[in-house]
Amino acid sequence: MKPNDGVEVLKGVGDARRDTLKKAGIATLSDLIFTLPRSWRSGTVFPLDPERVGIEACYELTVAAEPTVSFYPGGRRAFKFTAQDDAGTRVTVLYFHQPYLKGQIRKGDVFFFFGALREKKGKLYLFSPERQTERPDPDALLPVYAPLPGLSGKALSKWIDAALLPCLPQIADPLPERVRAAEDLPNLAHALYSMHRPESLAALEKARERLAFDRLFRFSVQAALFNRQTVDIKVPGMTAPKLASFTSRLPYRLTGAQEKVIGEIWDDMCGKEEVPPMNRLLQGDVGSGKTVVAAAAAFLCGVNGKSTLIMAPTEILARQHYAGLSRLFEGTGLPLYLLTGSTTKKEREALYEKTTRKEPYILVGTHALFEDSALCENVALTVIDEQHRFGVRQRDRLNEKGGAFHSLVMSATPIPRTLAMFLYAGSRISVLDEMPPGRIPIQTFYVGEDKKERIYNFLREKVEAGEQAYVVCPLIEDEEDTSPLQSAKEEWEAVQKHLPHVSSALLHGKMKPAEKDEIMARFKAGETKILVSTTVIEVGVDVPNATTMVIVNAERFGLSQLHQLRGRVGRGKIASTCILVSSASSKTVRERLQKLCSCQDGFELANFDLEHRGPGAFFGTRQTGFDGLWDPEILTMPLFQRAGRAARAFVESASPEELAPYEKSYHLN
């Protein structure tokens, strides 16, 4: 067996399973080996405790009542019973599609159950936990793999077992040996073995540290290289006009913070001689007025006869910027153009006609901007908005085209400075730490699920007053009886049932971009009053008439993410409300949600998250896919800093051959 062999060389993997694995991104044995466990299960017995919700654990429980069979929508049957631990704390246990359990589990029986505790409406659940009658070895550690669509974690485990030993010795270790030695980390084969089959907790911790370090190190080396590349390049310095020639066009006065940041940016780009290309990160909370800062940078370019590209992550945001900036630049003689995925070929050609002339322009668009090399003529500045996925890939791709641009990346996620310096190593950082005047603070409430009825009434009142609302639901992927979209779908059904005369719509990430844009456009136009969605609306959409944000299962989100979501409302002149709905009884969760009610400052919330949940909280990984490397106890700030230091030292001393594998776009994952 070789790492590059297809998975079909394994016993038990036929055509059908090969295809299923392939769909999940596992084509080769090497892919399989790099499919890391989501968590590990030990035989240590824990009491039932809401603080442990979501974590795999073992529970010794007595069946407290005779099991029954319940019917669920879709013809599903669940074998169901209540069980309790020593202290009398109760949990509902459900097994789907296993009617034969009748007779095997009876009132008074004692089992050791393995599973992750769930909480719904304030009650604890175990879904299809594994169970045994003999007391497990408290020191044993068994890997738990996330089930893939159409495959159980157990099947994966079996195949990994078969591939592991034959393949490991043939896997090359990408971490330079001297770095590995200096950092006292195990080699890759050893670490992978310990991840899948840990001999002890200490070995497992060391392996996780090594693999997490790997990711951070690779990211840091690439960031350092990227920033080094631009060091020797120089571009002609620009000449700054009077600030008033820009601000006189605005319908408001700049805040002190905006004025300061515009000054920093203009300073970077201006000079009598040549200057290094600007590489700046602009951080500012939602609504702090980042767009006008970008406009000022584009204005400077225009005055100097140069063009600007502004990239937004979605079509709707690109259109929003295009509309807003068109108004701002009206009559200046600096034209604005729009390019997105839905720009037709003919329109594109007309666009090239204009962009290849020497006259400066501002071109707003989506990723489509980067697929067109024809567009880089005379461009001096690129602005990337809402880049809060921490990939700096787009900026990188532009530079691959050989252009030397000033680069301004704008992030709406307030990132604590220590973390920002790692993620954007080499960038200078500007912060908009002052809100435009007159903003009405968003009232935030935290309520239990039993208050749903009142929330619907509140929504009805708001809609009757002519306002609009968002209802956001997390993706819930880890329960056997629900599909990831179930919670959003159920929520939408509930909204339709309670508010039958109100037009509402469902929006989720699995929809086609065109479909999403259309739903958003109708909401923006006020045709749809209530938008039920997964977190796809997180990114900068501006609908000033939306004044209420309801977040269901709020315990599933990090504070920064909740703050981000909350920032979707409170954009107009009407007082806005954010309602966090959660019945989680965990004390830490309650503290987190209460913090959001009392605090409107994104940086303060981000620091709270960093202290309590670690840097991993900023990647939203629990929402997007998760392996055992993103836990707060592994992904610590010291590890980030250690990897960053090691990477910078490595880049300084490494030969070009050693650096070659890193000369690619960089992003964390």
Is the CB of residue 540 less than 8 Å from the CB of residue 319? no
Site stretch for ligand ADP (CB under 6 A), options 187-195, 215-223, 241-249, 288-296? 288-296
287 binds, among ligand ADP, Mg ion, none (CB under 5 to 8 A by kind): ligand ADP
Q: What residue has token string 């990227």?
A: 226
Binders of Mg ion among 512-551, rule CB under 5 A?
540
Per-residue binding string, ligand ADP, 487-526, x by CB under 6 A, is ----------------------------------------
Residue of 412, 502, 546, 593 interacting with ligand ADP (CB under 6 A): 412
**512 with 314: CB under 8 angstroms?**
no
Nearest to 192 by CA among 621, 623, 627: 627
Which listed range, 85-93, 287-295, 420-428, 654-662, lies at the site for ligand ADP (CB under 6 A)?
287-295
- 436 binds ligand ADP, rule: CB under 6 A: yes
Nearer to ligand ADP, 412 or 610 (CB): 412
Taking the complex as a whole, how short is the minimal distance between the CB of residue 410 and Mg ion, in angstroms?
7
The set of long-range contacts for 463-466, using a CB threshold of 8 Å and a minimum separation of 24, is 463/499, 463/502, 463/529, 463/530, 466/545
Q: How many CB atoms lie within 10 A of CB 19?
A: 12
Output the smallest distance, CB 385 to Mg ion, in A. 6
Residue 527 phi, psi dihedral angles, 5° rounding: -70, -40
x-or-dash string of contact with ligand ADP, 524-563, rule CB under 6 A: ------------------x---------------------
Confirm if 391 and 317 have CB atoms less than 8 A apart: no
Three-state SS sequence of 279-313? EEEEEECCCCCHHHHHHHHHHHHHHCCCEEEEECC
Residue 254 binding partner per list Mg ion, ligand ADP, none, with a CB distance cut-off of 5 to 8 Å that depends on partner kind: ligand ADP
Using CB under 6 A as the binding rule, whether residue 286 contacts ligand ADP is answered as yes
Where in 416-571 does DSSP place strands (E)?
428-432, 443-447, 468-472, 504-507, 530-533, 546-551
Paired strand residues for 408:
280, 383
Contacts 24+ apart (CB under 8 A), 136-139: 136/43, 136/45, 136/58, 136/112, 137/43, 138/42, 138/43, 138/44, 138/45, 139/42, 139/43, 139/200, 139/201
**β-bridge partners, 202:** none
Any contact of residue 289 with ligand ADP (CB under 6 A)?
yes
Window 291-330: residues binding ligand ADP (CB under 6 A):
291-292
In the complex, least distance from residue 250 CB atom to ligand ADP, rounded to whole angstroms: 7
Structure-token pair, residue 113: 């159950």
Q: How far is the CB of 475 from ligand ADP (least distance, A)?
A: 25
* Number of chain residues interacting with ligand ADP (CB under 6 A): 16
In three-state secondary structure terms, 1 is coil
- For residue 267, give the nearest of 287, 297, 307, 291 by alpha carbon: 297
- Which of these segments, 266-274, 286-294, 463-471, 474-482, binds ligand ADP (CB under 6 A)? 286-294
Cβ closer to Mg ion: 540 or 570?
Answer: 540
Pick from ligand ADP, Mg ion, none: which does 288 bind, CB < 5 to 8 A by kind?
ligand ADP
Judged by beta carbon distances under 5 to 8 A according to partner kind, the member of ligand ADP, Mg ion, none in contact with residue 284 is ligand ADP
Residues engaged in binding Mg ion (CB under 5 A): 540
Residues engaged in binding ligand ADP (CB under 6 A): 252-255, 258, 284, 286-292, 412, 436, 542
